[in-house]
Copies of this chain bind each other. A is one copy, B any other.
Amino acid sequence: MNRHDPEGAIAESAKAYSNWGRWSADDVLGTLNFLDEAKRREGAALVRRGASFSLSQSFDMDGPQNGWRRRTNPVHTMLDTGTDAVLGHQGFPHGIGGADDVISMPLQCSTQWDGLGHIFDHGMAWNGRPAEHVVTSAGDLVTGVEHMAPYVAGRGVLLDVGRFAGGGTGELPDGFAITEEQLTATAQAQGVTVGRGDIVVVRTGQLTRVRRDGWGEYAGGPAPGLSFTTAGWLHRTEIAAIATDTWGFEVRPNEFEASFQPLHQVVIPNMGLLVGELWDPDALAEDCARDGVYEFWLTAAPLPITGAVGSPVNPIAVK
């Protein structure tokens, strides 16, 4: 890997790990195609205790966003309240009162899926489509996140790399590039396998750290994350999706000079991989450490917002 040539390295990886045309010319699901009914049966069999966990951060103004590229925290306002109801302002009969609310937010402000239209490689979107025909001001006309609505439910696997490689702290330092070897060694140490159709959740421990120390530069700054070199593993394992507890999934600063999210450029438009960010695996990870079981049933259904290139999500793991 030549640190001085991100463009060359990206081109090589993009070619080696492309899934363009793998499913069909009009595919809108990418690697989510790997998550089939057999995989769902396998996942559902993992529900042994019936304990459920949310892997979502909260959605409110105390979030990490700092305005970069106009990504802000959500603004939640009330249309009607209990104070109004009690003071008789609502005009309803027989003592009924109500509260209603509104939200305004970037779709990637908190726990989220990147849609397939979120990233382009040299003007090309997933499956080899010209980006300008896919995502206009009217949204993603082809691969909008609504197409994934029914499918993101299957076997989940937690790889707690923070715990495995964090030197006892449970947390990887910022700038830590997670390699394929560390992913597979973590899986082995946890006694779990990763394979075709799985939804993999990687815990780095950064969220644990910023929850303790303050957001700081969590949104866009230095972070542990997947090395650019894991592209082959992401391709070879044929996983359906991957998510992390960080802002940007891959290690930051990025491993190339003067680069920006090179692994995204390979895995989203070329591989068609479903990528999740800003997840909160901590409660689940504690439970997994306790019982030694790192696989579970996972539902992480995006909201079917027509034409969206991302979606907020509350992923639910059940063990």
Contact = CB atoms under 8 A, between A and B. Distances in A.
Interface of A: 6-7, 10, 36-41, 43-45, 47-54, 56-62, 67, 69-87, 89, 92-108, 117-123, 125, 130-140, 146, 149-153, 256, 258-262, 264-265, 283, 297, 299, 301-310, 312-316, 318
A39 B50 contact: yes
Contact of A258 (B37, B93, B100, B315): B93
> Considering residues A61, A256, A316, which has the most beta carbons from chain B within 10 angstroms of its beta carbon?
A316
Contacts of A305: 58-60, 74, 76, 103
Contact of A100 (B69, B93, B306): B69
Contacts of A105: 102-104
A87 B301 contact: no
Contacts of A318: 40, 44, 153
A130 B75 CA distance: 25
Contact of A304 (B51, B56, B119): B56
Given A44-B47, A61-B67, A83 B76 contact: no
Nearest to A138: B89
Contacts of A6: 93-94
A119 B132 contact: no
Contacts of A59: 146, 303-306
Given A119-B96, A136-B83, A149 B48 contact: no
Given A140-B99, A150-B54, A87 B132 contact: yes
Contact of A146 (B58, B89, B134, B313): B58
A54 B136 contact: no
Nearest to A115: B99
A290 to B, nearest CB: 15
